[in-house]
Amino acid sequence: MVVAEGGMDRGHAVMVARAPRPDGPFEGCPGNPVLSAAGTGWPEQNLGRADLGEADGGTALVCLGVRPVGLAKAFSPLGRGTFLADVDWVDDWPRARLTELPPAPAEEVSYDLGAPDALTNPIWIAVRQLPVAVAPPTPDGLLIRRTSGHTGLDGSRPAFVGRRQQH
């Protein structure tokens, strides 16, 4: 059994227990938590909500976490993301090793926002509607307009088009 413990913030952790039958009695892993970033300076934090699975001939642990930024490391602009950890088996218990990924390279992008298909790429987003419904392409670029149904940013259907954060 793989469970989350410690809340969803800095104390979040992955715990493991096993039993001879689904109804127990359960024995906790002596190495619990099998994965936690609590008290570490790792760039990944709040790791939890995990599951074990097979990957490339071995075992992997997939979990949720965040990559906080800023001086206080309290803000995560991408929200919770999915992380993958390799798993070693020690005395028949899993022990997760979070794999450090290299940072994504800086990306320079250029878009022809006047093209008829300018907003068909899924990197473009709008709130509760398709981006093209908010900002139809014109030969001069996108025209974001407030029409009936489109409201300000505090409304239910804001006249907003954005590009998804990827890194």
The tokens 């590009």 sit on which residue? 163
Domain that holds residue 152: 102-167
Q: What is the pLDDT of residue 119?
A: 86
- Alpha carbons 145 and 157: distance in angstroms, whole number: 12
Judgement on whether residues 89 and 8 belong to the same structural domain of the protein: yes
Please tell me which residue, 28 or 160, carries the higher pLDDT value: 28
Q: Are residues 10 and 92 in the same domain?
A: yes
Indicate whether 32 and 88 sit together in one domain: yes
Radius of gyration of the chain from Cα atoms?
Answer: 22
pLDDT digits (tens, 9 = 90+) for 135-159: 888 888 888 876 666 667 777 777 8
| Nearest residue to 117 via CA among 133, 131, 137 | 137
* Confidence band for 1, pLDDT divided at 50, 70 and 90: very high
**Based on the domain organization, do 108 and 91 belong to the same domain?**
no
- Tell me: pLDDT of 31 over 90: yes
CA-to-CA distance for 83 and 80, rounded, in angstroms? 9
- When pLDDT is cut at 50, 70 and 90, the band that residue 65 belongs to is very high
Looking at per-residue pLDDT, the higher value among 52 and 117 belongs to 52
Say what the pTM is.
Answer: 0.65
69-125 pLDDT per residue, tens = 877 777 787 788 899 999 999 999 999 988 766 666 777 777 788 887 888 888 888
Domain match, 71 and 145 both? no
Instruction: Say if residue 77 is in the same domain as residue 120.
Output: no
